[in-house]
Chain A
Amino acid sequence: MYCSYACNSNEHAISRRSFLKGVTAGAAGAAGFGGMVGSAGAQALATTQKHVVVFYLAGGVSQLETWDPKPGVETGGPFDKIQTSVPGIEISELLPLTAQQMHHLALIRSVNHKEGDHGKGDYIMQTGMRQAPGFEYPYLGSAMAKQLSPPDSPLPGYIHVAGGGSKAEAAFLGAKYAPLSLNDGNPPANLSRYATLTEQSDAKRREFRNKLSQRFIAGRRQAETEVYNQSYDQAMKLMSKKEIFDFNRMTDLDLERYGKHDFGRHCLMARNLIESGVTFVKVSHSNYDSHSENFNFHIEQLGEFDKPFSAFVADMAARSMLDNVLIIVMSEFGRTPNINARVGRDHWGTAWSICLGGAGIKKGVAVGKTNDKGTAVIDREVDGGHLFHTYYSAVGLDSTKSFFDEGRPVAKADPKTSAITEILA
């Protein structure tokens, strides 16, 4: 299969691009902070607010080297399977630490969205819908930010750690539900007031800007103008919460547990952001699009993934946060059972797996099944629609309700599908 990744698709580009617009001190740069959710005081996880963390293994992680190993068969590859903390559930030997956390997790081994294109597979996995000409569905992060964030939260509802992101993800929900991207895991730019700008001067500048804005709005009230002003307000409030981005506070012990590489720091950031009250955090890990040397690259990439991910799950459990935090490990698709001449695996949306855990999810179960060689789903086939109904149900939302785009109802999840009840707690 032609690799559209090498192929300059957007999904491939996310690691090289930043859509971060940055926070500005004072009024000058605040326009770029239009992705902020409404305003007010942060609430810690002592509340029952639900949160979602997505670990996005970009490029398409191999299900055979992770959640659905088939050692010994011609498609199985060289790796063995190992027992997990849940008797009867075995995963790849490349995830030994995750295996020890399986009693907190659950697997869906029967995803078939029939899509082998990076962009289209990504769209299905992040919106629950197939792409439709002339219409954009909101991404999971934007949808969850809108529905789960406290109305007065000063915090961004959707933060994407190290992986790009776009205002387009919010679609008709509005720019304020678009992701705030922490490019390469760095805090937003200009979180602090310029050193040369006194608090008093800054206040005067804001006051002057507000006056101008009010005059402007008086004659030309429109949605963009409101969002524009809201962004300034949001930026100011976020500046007061800038400590949540102070990743220098990571302890040596935490860094040791999560790993000192980028992905380890990013997972630790995700933990800190969730603890600070952020609703939806997406952490991308690049890259798994291993058309060549699939096994060597999966050793490398999953070796980097296993430690911080398992530490994250363990921390969520140790801090009694699992009931309120939905954990999702996904890709745009899996990889072919066939091992090609480059010792690689190609794109495969036909029979693959994802991992869930936490809020609303049964602990230590595996749903769905593929055949002996992993070439087809033979039990409980699901697609993006099923997954979105399940995510919604897991965090206590009604997935059968609709959003409204200028009065037109838009299903939150594909009405032809339903939640995977076997995996819901």
Chain B
Amino acid sequence: MTPLPRTLLASLCLILAGISSQAWSADPAPVLNLGLKYAQRDAQRAAEASQAAATRLAAEVAKLQAAEKLIVDSQAAKVAADKAVIDTAAAIVAAETARVAADKTVLDAVANAQKVKDDAAADQAAKDLAQQTATTAQTAATAAAELVKAKQAAKVVADTNKPVADKQLEVAQATLKPAQEAKAAVEKDTVAIAAIAKATQDKAAFYATALPVAKVEPPRLIQTLTHTRPFQSCRIDPTGDFVFGGCQDNSIQRWDLVLGTKVPMVGHKSWIADFDFQPGSNMLISAAYEGRVHWWNDALTVPTSIRNVAAHKGQVRALSFSRDGQYIATAGNDKMVRIWRAADGALLKELEGHTRHVYNVAFHPNGKHLISGDLMGILKQWEVESWQLVRDYDAKLLTGYDPTFKADCGGIRGIDFSPDGRFLAVGGIGEVSNAFAGIGKPMVLIFDWVTGQRIHVLSPKGAFQGTVWGLQFHPSGSFLLGVGGGGSGGMWFWDVETGTALLDVALPQVAFDLSIHPDGLRIAVASYDNSIKIFDLGPKTPDAAPAK
């Protein structure tokens, strides 16, 4: 019997599977040449941040100078106030002395006038003069008394002004330290950002000399972004500017990949299971084990939860945005796959068929189909819009019943499509010998999308016990990357075309998820050790030549 040509066989399979061969066309694997573009973007953002930091520093310097001037002015005011107090006190003493002298003059003049008046020999002119002198002395004494009062009033004013001046100086001095600290902090940031800007510029310049290529080699750890609890999930946003981590403290933490700044997104009540970005927008959708899904506006600027819905009874395990951004598919422990309208959160359809917890869900790149996978290793293919079941795939190698522990173990932990849509990869744990200790082999199954047939069963090159928790095709389509672990962590590279394990990389801790940067070079890994780690598959920027 002559074997059917492969293309004819594929066509027959399509027909049998109810799929129109016109429904989608696979693009050839894109030539990934985005390393330079994103390096330049990073350099530009860093330069802008550096400029902004310099502006902030100038403002802080001005604030510090103003504070210092205020202190100088306040010190002068205080000196003047202190002097006024002393001067007014001395003036009072002098005025009082003058008043005493004037009073004595009055007494003498009055006595003399009386004496002259009583002197029969004195003529009227002498009497008038004596009286005039006494009157003048009285006037002078009155003036001296008034001067004493004036000097006393002046001292009251000086005494009042002194504590005000003291307080002003105290306030001025109190502003100095914060101003100095703020300036120092901004100065430190400015220096750091300037260094980042320099490094990103150097990297962009280096990439410009030779376009970087992601190599299947042990990647370099280039960033460790730490928090307080283990991370369950992670995604790098489509702009490549941020990485989002879903944490066991029920928060999502967003880091700027260039600057390293962190912004928390709080709203969920349980561990963050999964999230995805609406294509072409600034919207992020997240799902958590409390069963709710959150819509976050402005995820790349100031993330705000604008809506949350009770999506599943029990845990939501996974979600996926349709390629056109219209639909969100969610999968949960209530055995359901649900379709939501992204625009308003309306429930559009419930897809029934799974008999156990649904662990994962993903839209095909063609935009026409959806895949969901459950604990029992059953994959279901649904047609978008009609939401009819097209066919099932058998991924039962990723599950098993442990008769000792009397429990099912496994499920579809990682899922992804190749960029050209030809391959479906699902990962988890296979060949389980001890379910409750997690003793089994990390395993990935590769399905041919056209025929629906499983074409490869992949595992690490070396002996390893654990689970593939996260799975993603490289954007070039040239290899598949998985992360996971058991007693320790691992990152694994496979050639999907040939079904070959290419590289095993030991990680310091178990990794629960990964996300490949759109530059195809950087990899974010959600780690048990409270961190998101950023690895780099690209070439290392040469160290600057030492100064001569």
Contact = CB atoms under 8 A, between A and B. Distances in A.
Interface in B251-286: 269-271
Interface stretch (B211-219, B382-390, B432-440): B432-440
A323 interface: no
Contacts of A286: 405-406
Nearest to A301: B407
A291 B406 contact: no
B485 interface: yes
B269 A80 contact: yes
B233 to A, nearest CB: 12
B333 interface: yes
Contact of B487 (A5, A79, A341): A341
Given A78-B315, A80-B290, A291-B436, A341 B407 contact: no
A126 B230 CA distance: 37
A6 B487 contact: no
Interface string B227-259: 011100000000000000000111000000000
Contacts of B487: 341-342
Contact of B270 (A79, A287, A290, A300): A79
A299 B407 contact: no
Contact of B437 (A74, A78, A292, A296): A292
B314 interface: yes
B438 A74 contact: no
Given A80-B269, A341-B485, A341-B509, A292 B435 contact: yes
Interface residues of A, number: 30
A15 interface: yes
B390 to A, nearest CB: 28
Nearest to A94: B314
Contacts of A15: 404, 406
A71 B288 CA distance: 14
A384 interface: no
Nearest to A344: B438
A301 B250 CA distance: 24
Nearest to A292: B438
Interface string A319-348: 000000000000000000001011010000
Interface string B504-544: 00000110000000000000000010000000000000000
Given A80-B290, A299-B333, A3 B405 contact: no
A16 interface: yes
B408 interface: yes
Given A74-B249, A341-B510, A342-B510, A291 B270 contact: no
A19 interface: no
Interface string B288-299: 011000000000
A12 B435 CA distance: 13
Contacts of B315: 78, 299
Most chain B Cβ neighbours within 10 Å, of A12, A287, A292: A292
A222 B546 CA distance: 97
A3 B438 CA distance: 11
A396 interface: no
Which residue, of A16, A59, A80, A300, has the highest number of chain B Cβ atoms within 10 A?
A300
B365 interface: no
Contact of A6 (B270, B434, B485): B434
Q: Is chain A's binding surface mostly helix, strand, loop or mixed? A: loop
A228 interface: no
Contacts of B510: 341-342
A403 interface: no
A289 interface: yes
B229 A290 contact: no
A278 B489 CA distance: 52
B482 interface: no
Contacts of B250: 72
A315 interface: no
Interface in A284-329: 286-287, 289-293, 296-297, 299-301
Contacts of A5: 436
B528 to A, nearest CB: 5
B486 interface: yes
Nearest to B228: A74
A291 B434 CA distance: 10
Interface in B416-442: 434-439
Contacts of A301: 407
A297 B407 contact: yes
Contacts of B485: 341
A274 to B, nearest CB: 24
Interface in A197-223: none
Given A6-B434, A6-B436, A80-B270, A287 B407 contact: yes
Contacts of B228: 74
A15 B403 CA distance: 9
Contacts of A262: 406
A91 B438 CA distance: 27
A82 B504 CA distance: 44
B249 A289 contact: no
B436 A287 contact: yes
Given A78-B270, A341-B509, A6 B439 contact: yes
A300 B439 contact: no
A56 B409 CA distance: 22
Interface string A67-110: 00001101000111000000000000000000000000000000
Contacts of B407: 287, 297, 300-301
A286 B270 CA distance: 27
A59 B405 CA distance: 9
Given A6-B434, A292-B435, A12 B270 contact: no
B269 to A, nearest CB: 7
Contacts of A6: 434, 436-437, 439
A71 to B, nearest CB: 8
Interface string B330-364: 00010000000000000000000000010000000
Contacts of A292: 435-438, 486
A342 B409 CA distance: 13
A342 B440 CA distance: 12
Contacts of A12: 404
B468 to A, nearest CB: 14
Given A292-B435, A341-B487, A74 B229 contact: yes
A58 to B, nearest CB: 9
A74 B333 CA distance: 23
B248 A74 contact: yes
Nearest to B269: A80
B113 to A, nearest CB: 97
A16 B404 CA distance: 7
Contacts of B404: 12, 15-16, 287
A3 B486 CA distance: 14
Contacts of A287: 404-407, 436
Nearest to A289: B436
Interface string A337-364: 0010110100000000000000000000
Interface centre among B315, B405, B466 (most CB of A within 10 A): B405
Give the most central of B271, B357, B438: most A CB within 10 Å: B438
A59 B404 CA distance: 11
Q: Which 3 A-B pairs have the closest CB atoms?
A: A292-B438, A78-B289, A78-B271
Given A16-B404, A287-B407, 7 more contacts: A6-B439, A78-B270, A78-B289, A78-B290, A292-B436, A300-B407, A301-B407
8 contacts: A16-B403, A74-B248, A78-B289, A287-B404, A297-B405, A297-B407, A299-B314, A342-B437
